[in-house]
Structures are given as structure tokens and as C-alpha cells.
Structure 1
Amino acid sequence: MALITSKEMFAKALTQDYAVGAFNVNNMEIIQGIVDAAKEENAPLILQVSAGARKYARPAYLLKLVEAAMEDSGLDIVLHLDHGEDFDICKKCVDDGFTSVMIDGSKHAFEENIALTKQVVEYAHSKGAVVEAELGKLAGVEDNIKVDARSATFTDPDEAAEFVERTGVDSLAIAIGTSHGAYKFKGEPYLDFERLKQIHELIPDIPLVLHGASTVLPEFVAKCNEYGGNIPGAQGVPEDMIRTAAGHGICKVNIDTDLRLAMTAEVRKLLMEKPEEFDPRKYLGPARDAIQRMVQHKIKNVLNASNQR
């Protein structure tokens, strides 16, 4: 058991047309639910930490929780920084032991994004870590990353090829129609698969990443709303679209919203049905189990990553 990079798991995923789940973590129960699911399914695993999660849980606590998860489960795990905004946070995470970092320079002009990404790549590679970058912009909200739909731009295939060549980045997050949060589409769901195919043809050896890829499972939305929630009209990426994307170079699929919905739905249900309950273990335990079931569903039925470790 060890913290590993994503190089070997992505190389395998590229050749066998499946994707590795990258699940955002914030606390012990979320980590336990995800890791238990990956162990049960014998699946490769990426645990990723956003800037907001680092601030909330504190870096030292998250690192120790991941170490405990490896010791308890016997799994090798990739520990990844999600949406690093600048060189400093990427450096801090690499120095803390993260094996993978994302530098999100998508808000910058093309040349600035290249320069920033190259700086992170040079440092991370010198320490044995790998780097994910982003080209194009996703609509929606994730922590303090906000892009409205009108500002979202899809990734240009030719720019993607140039970007990878000039930066030496290990994987590339692309924009083909997904968005962050629980409200991904106002009308019919749409992903630009032709654009994805073009990008994959130009850089066939580069693992591609799909952000904002929660399916926003209707049963969790319905349960949240049934037990006092207020999230009407939430809509995610259909599962068949995720499966199709995995056949065209998408090796990493980011999932966060579905974790939040699964956990919140179970907590709401228990507290409404048992208003006398005040022991956190009595509602966080079932929430942990709900996360495990949801992650196992993703691994088996969406990512096709069972038995790929």
C-alpha cells in the first residue's frame, strides 16, 4: 500500500476504454465510504482534495486520514489536488506528499496558462509527482471557482495538442459541455463528442479528464427534497454519456456533487424520521454507507472500472 501517481492506471485505462473515478473528500466518513467501495470493487482509486476542502478539514488531518485509509484497506491510492489556482498551492501539496496536482490556469490567456502550467510541471516532476492542467472553461461553481455559462468555452483541439507539447503536462482536463454543481443543463444534456474525438485523435497518448461529471442521481435529489431539501430541477450528466466518453480518451472522471447528495439525503432522512437523535454516529454512519453504495454503482455501471486494480 502506498501513495502512487496516476501514470500506470491511466495508461491501462487508455488501452482498455474505462475511466478511473476521482472522488472529492472532505472528512472521515466520505473517505471511508469511497475507499470501502473501491476495495469491494477491486478498482483503482483517486482521492482528490479541493482548496476548499484543505481549508475546511486542514491539510494535516486530510493527509492522516488518507494514510489511515491506505493502512486499513491495503489499497494504493492517488492523492490529487483538485483545481489548484496557482504555483504556490501546487508546490505546498507536492511538498506535503500529494502524488498528483492540478494547476487550473484556464482563467488565463493561452500563453499565460502555458507558462503557469510549465512552471508547475517542472517542479512536480522534479519531486516525482504528476500534473493535470485544464484548457477551456467549465460553467458552474466549485468552491471559489465560478464561471457562468456565457463565459464557458469549449476546448479547441489544435490548442490542446499545442498545450500538451509545450507544457509536458501528464493529463488534460477539457471542456466539452459538462459543468460544476448540481444544475449542469437547463435543457437536454449535451456533450460535444465530436470535439472529444478530435482531441483524442490529436493527442492519443494523453489521458483526458472530465470535470463536472456527476450524474446527479435522481433518487438522491428526490430523497433530499422529500426530507426537507430544496434542490428542484437538478440535472447531471447521463450515465451513458460518461460511458461513451471513457471510450474516447477520458481516463479520469471527477465526482463530487453525487457524494454530497448521497450523504445529505441520508442525513436528512434520518434526522427527520428520528428528530430525537443527536448522536452524530447514528446519522453519519448511514451516510457513509450511502456513499459506499453510490461509489460502487459508479465504478461498476458508469466507469466500468471494476477489477481493474
Structure 2
Amino acid sequence: MFVDRNTIDVLFVLDDESREDHILGDCLKKHNYSIKYEASPAFTKTKGNIKGYDRQQWSTFYMDYLSNSDYIGVIDADGMLFTFMHPFYSIFASNDDKRIMLKPMAGDHYHEDKLALKFDNTLDFMWTNRMPMWYRWETYQNLRNYISLAWNGSSFDDAFIEFSKNQGYSQFTILSTYASLFESNYYRIIMNSDTRGAVSVGSNRGREADIRIGCCRSFHIGCNDTSLPELNKDHLLRYDNTEFAAINATEKNDAYYAYVHEYLKQMPSYMVSNMKKSCELFLNNKSIPICI
């Protein structure tokens, strides 16, 4: 709903062995979404099948096999965008600092991450619940190579089988920890303790209020809700599951949406109109499913 699909390719990754996924993919193609059917990992023939959580996690480590884009942003299956995603200012730190923003907090909620990386990590990039998670195309291969070496030359998949056994790991924390330590020229950590804050436009599961604010601030629709001004203070800059208070939050939100409004003026009018219609439907508790 909140993406310029002329600039950002929206890709759905589905299981090749699933008949239901092929039915869904055929439907999504009719709506001009990109579809990739991913084969089950080769190791399942000898090590047993992986489903659900582990299948999605494994797939994320191979996103460079599924897209040729210079930058790949991943959203969990239960994730959502709650406002318009500017293709620059929602990803990079600033005009003067074109590094990808990573938003962690101190802590370790996924204890197998250090097993995967073979060192203790002190930051959690998943618990703050910010989406999409953006990485350079090269980072995926670089991480797999690093883990293979750290595991004494084992293949990445062999290492994955071991560190995924207890499901106590986060693919995003593993990727982000590697990126922030070994590719810091391309990534910038912005902690929850950094009162300057950093923009995010999506989250897992999402909050209804965020979508309402996104519709109001992006498209000037539904702005008569009296609760919006107060909620708007942490709308873009929030870190979930942790205390955070940005300095000059209102000014930063206003600056982001100024960029959004300028960008929307350059988009085809029919695309903006479709986004507005989606907002109107949502605000009236209605929806039009594209695939049933």
C-alpha cells in the first residue's frame, strides 16, 4: 500500500513444493507483484524437512539468490508498512551519510546468535521491531562465507542446521551484527539510547494507530482523529520493547513527511490515488482482498 512500485520491486518468496503457494503466486502475478518460488533446501533430503520459522529464517540468508537489487529490504511474513516508504530517507542515515540505518538495543534475546557468529554479541537488532531490514546485496554472501569459515570450513547450511536446532536465533540480528562489525562503511548503528532517533516505516504485526497516522501524514486522509497528534510523537522514531525519547521528534517527523510529499508529486497520479483508496477503505474498516 505504501510503496512506489516503479522504484521498489515488491517480491514475494514462496515455497516451490507447495501447491497452495503456487496458487497464491499465480494470483499475485496478476497484480504485477514479483514472485520467486524457492526450492526446499537441498539438505532436507538427508537431514529432514524444515518448516515455518526455520524455513523463513534460512531463506532470508539467501536473499541475494532471489533478487539482483543493490539493496534488499526484508519484511517478515507478519510484517507491514504503516506509512509511505521513501526510497531514500527511510533507508539511509542522511544526505551526508549514505549508510544503511540499523536500529538495535542493548541485550541478547536470541541466545543462539552467538553460536552462529562464534562470538558474543551485545546488541539485539530484532527486539526493537523495526521493518524493513535493509542490507546490501553483497552482505548476504559475505555473511555466509564468514560463518562457513567460523565453523571451520563447514558449509553455511551445515552450520545453520546446528545453530537453528533450538530456534533461539534471529536471522536479522545475525545479519546486522555481521554488517555493523565488518561492513561499517556501509551501515550505521543508531541505538535506542541515541536521542537523535532514526526513521522506520514498518513493524511486525503493526499497530492500527500507526496506519491511521501514516494515512494522515502521507495522504492527508483521516486526520480528524483527536488522538493522532499525541501518538505522532513517536510514530516514525519508535523503538519497540524499550524506552526511547527522541529530541525534536516532531521536527524530524515533519522533515520526513516533507520529503514524502515532494516524492509523491513525482509519482504517477493513479498510483497515489490507489494508495489513498486503500487508506479510505482501512479507515472505514473495509478491505478488498487481492487474493482469496
TM-score bracket for the superposition, by shorter chain length: under 0.3
TM-score computed with the length of structure 2 as normaliser: 0.26
TM-score computed with the length of structure 1 as normaliser: 0.25
* Larger of the two Rg values belongs to structure: 2
Higher relative helix content = 1
